[in-house]
Structure 1
Amino acid sequence: MDLNHRSILLTGAGTGIGRAMALELARYAPRLALVGRRSEPLEEVAALVREKGGEAVVVPADLTADGAPAQVVAAARDRLGGIDVLINNAGNVRAGRLEAIEESEVLAQIALNLTAPILLTRAALPALRASGEALVVNVSSGFGLLGSPFYATYGATKAGIAHFGEALRRELHGEGVHVLNVFPGATDTPMMDSSDARAEHGFDYESPEEVAAAAVAGMIGDEISVVRGASMDRMLTRNREDPAAVDQMLAAGKDELEKVVAGHSSL
């Protein structure tokens, strides 16, 4: 896909991977609608995008509020003159044993990680179809491909958005709207600040800039998926061929993992 001068709606744009994607996309002189809960970081990113030659507007919103996805899409379409690319990047996490997580924390992850991007995509489809060459990008997670203890709800939402993307890609095949799923591994973002998981626990961190560069390359290359994480391919192969062996491998470090991720929350 030619990204030059495209109208792009990007959620979760104020920090982390979203911020890095906005700056990576800025080199293509896009028109960006930057969406997030807080105006201040969005304004900072918008200023950096403009310095790099792009255009940017800020759309503060809680995507989990009633009617918010449709309102955000309408605002972006009106201010950008259309939508060529929708990037569903906003997300949250609450790790820990399932019975130790509050019901409200379960629902909050489902609302932002799964329900909101589905409703955003639904609302954006008329504008995307009108583009003639459009793209939906869903930022999932390595945990959407490989189930990890203490990330049951988070993993379920990320597997859900990936499956949604795959199904939608096939639904829209040949209709001018492509869908790309991106699966970051552990990424050094503010979302991970409350986690004590490190390399010895299986968390090999990339920078958000590395993930953003790979995602944008996948967008340009019309890829179906972008999978990050140095060991992810090996783990996925092993999990497919002998999932019981992966169970045993993860069990060996389960007690320590529970300790280091018990406080991991971005809610």
Structure 2
Amino acid sequence: MIILDLNNRHGIITGAGQGIGRALAVEFGSRGAHLLLVGRKESTLTATAQLVEAAGGTAEVLAQDLTLQGSIDRVAEAVGSWATVDLLVNNAGNVRAGRLENTSEADIRSMIDLNLVAPLLLTRALLPRLRAGADRDSIVLNISSGIALLGIPFYSVYAATKAGLARFGESLRRELTGTGVHVATVYPGATDTDMMTSQNAAASPGWERRPLDDVITDLLAGLEAGDHEINTSPEGGRGMQELNTSDPMAIDAAMAPGLADLEAAVRDHRSI
């Protein structure tokens, strides 16, 4: 069994100003990491950096909108002087729920550009550094979503980006066999983070939010064990995911009666 050493990593975490990105930064910091924290708001990144340092790590911050021209180059340049880069966490993402015909082109492009295009370009830019890891595997950790495994109504664009990220990770993992780069994909279900504050479906069966600490615990345990596919969805959600594989029309039938209520519950879900 492969055991990944998570200690003393040197790497980049995107979307590090809040939620899963911040929690991962602190956890890697507690293991002695030196991190470049990337996100749109310098104030939240600075707050994360303080938490990383309090936990025992060190951090630099780079306020950057990864959807803008030149942003990927600026991230790569920020770690250009580092002796080692052996961690990349593609976590930054955004969501806009609602019926497809009511979703603006701007919101569609925003989700595609941040959730899918940015991780592809950033991974491409950093691969030469990641492959140059000295005595242990480097890590590329892609934060997908349980919605990549079970498409949910009113999340069609978000689901497309997260499923795309998952298949990117799977393909890249096979492409990099034997190169010393460990590619892992995480599938969080609904998680109690700021990104979920505008979504009101939490009280519905199957939409219960897992505590962030529990999700991070499962994520790191899977990563340390050398897993490539890490599902942190609640057990109930995994049952639905399995049924979706064996009998997807049963999922359609189960969801149909509640579509109106679900649409009302998620119509304000937006982090763009």
Q: TM-score range by the shorter chain?
A: over 0.9
State yes or no: 1:75 paired with 2:78: yes
Count of residue correspondences: 266
Are the equivalent residues in 2 in contact too, given 1:204–1:229 (CA < 8 A)? no
Partners of 1:56 and 1:218 in 2: how far apart? 24
- Per-residue Cα deviation, 1:147-190 (whole angstroms, up to 9, x for no partner): 11000000000000000000000000111011000000001111
- Per-residue Cα deviation, 1:80-99 (whole angstroms, up to 9, x for no partner): 43310100000000000000
TM-score under structure 1 length normalisation = 0.97
Partners of 2:85 and 2:215 in 1: how far apart? 23
Provide the alpha-carbon RMSD of the alignment. 1.1
Aligned residue identity for 2:190? A
State yes or no: 1:173 paired with 2:156: no
**Which secondary structure does the structure 2 equivalent of 1:23 belong to?**
helix
Partners of 2:270 and 2:80 in 1: how far apart? 33
Partners of 1:48 and 1:240 in 2: how far apart? 40
- Per-residue Cα deviation, 1:37-94 (whole angstroms, up to 9, x for no partner): 001111111111111111111111110011211221221343x433101000000000
Q: Give the drift of 1:218.
A: 2.1
Partners of 1:148 and 1:8 in 2: how far apart? 33
**Which secondary structure does the structure 1 equivalent of 2:13 belong to?**
strand
Give the equivalent residue in structure 1 for 2:148.
144
Are the equivalent residues in 2 in contact too, given 1:17–1:209 (CA < 8 A)? no
**Which secondary structure does the structure 2 equivalent of 1:199 belong to?**
coil
Of 100, 112, 115, the residue aligned with 1:113 is 115
State yes or no: 1:234 paired with 2:239: yes
Give the equivalent residue in structure 2 for 1:52.
55
Partners of 2:229 and 2:17 in 1: how far apart? 24
State yes or no: 1:93 paired with 2:99: no
Partners of 1:91 and 1:112 in 2: how far apart? 6
- Structure 1: runs of 5+ lacking an equivalent: none
Aligned residue identity for 1:248? A
Give the equivalent residue in structure 2 for 1:195.
199
Partners of 2:219 and 2:73 in 1: how far apart? 25
Partners of 2:83 and 2:44 in 1: how far apart? 24
Q: Give the drift of 1:6.
A: 1.3
Of 129, 136, 153, the residue aligned with 1:127 is 129
Aligned residue identity for 1:264? H
- Per-residue Cα deviation, 1:2-37 (whole angstroms, up to 9, x for no partner): 121110210000101111111111221111111100
TM-score under structure 2 length normalisation = 0.95
Partners of 1:96 and 1:218 in 2: how far apart? 33
Of 36, 39, 43, the residue aligned with 2:42 is 39
Are the equivalent residues in 2 in contact too, given 1:194–1:263 (CA < 8 A)? yes
Partners of 1:201 and 1:115 in 2: how far apart? 33
Are the equivalent residues in 1 in contact too, given 2:219–2:232 (CA < 8 A)? no
- Structure 2: runs of 5+ lacking an equivalent: none
State yes or no: 1:24 paired with 2:27: yes
**Which secondary structure does the structure 2 equivalent of 1:169 belong to?**
helix
Q: Give the drift of 1:201.
A: 4.8
Are the equivalent residues in 2 in contact too, given 1:21–1:213 (CA < 8 A)? no
